[in-house]
Amino acid sequence: MNSGWKTVIVEDVLQKSGIRGEVRFMSGSQAIAWGALVAGCRFFVGYPITPSSKILLEMAKELRKHKDGIFYQPEDELASIGMAISASVCGKKAMTATSGPGLSLMQEELGWAIVNEIPLIVVNAMRIGPSTGHPTKPGSADINCMIHGRHGDGGDGVVVLSPNSVQ
Domain that holds residue 92: 26-155
For residue 124, is it within any domain?
Answer: yes
User: 46-77, pLDDT tens digit by residue?
Assistant: 999 888 999 999 999 999 998 899 999 999 99
- Over the Cα atoms of the chain, what is R_g? 16
Examine residue 161 and state whether it is found in any structural domain, yes or no.
Answer: no
**Domain-embedded: residue 92:** yes
**Share above pLDDT 90 across residues of the chain, in percent, rounded to a whole number:** 40
Rounded to two decimals, what is the model's pTM?
Answer: 0.79
> Has residue 50 been placed in a domain?
yes
DSSP 42-56: -EEE----TTTHHHH
Residue 144: its pLDDT value, please?
77
Which CATH number do you get for residue 48? 3.40.50.970
Inside any domain, residue 16: no
* Tens-place pLDDT, residues 134-163: 655 556 667 777 887 777 766 666 888 877
Q: Please indicate, yes or no, if residue 95 is contained in any of the structural domains.
A: yes
The vertex-150 CA angle with 153 and 54, nearest 5°, equals 135
Question: Looking at the domain assignment, is residue 138 inside a domain?
Answer: yes
pLDDT at 128: 65
In a domain, 98, yes or no: yes
Question: Using one digit for the tens of pLDDT, what is the confidence trace for 80-110?
Answer: 999 999 999 999 999 999 988 899 899 999 9
Q: Distance (Å, rounded) from C-alpha 79 to C-alpha 67?
A: 24
Q: Which residue has the higher pLDDT, 3 or 13?
A: 13
Domain count of the chain? 1
Q: What's the rounded Cα separation, in Å, for the pair 114 and 146?
A: 12
CB 87 within 8 A of CB 43: yes
Identity of the residue numbered 114: I
Burial 99-114 (b: 16+ CB within 10 A, else e): bbebbebbbebbbebb
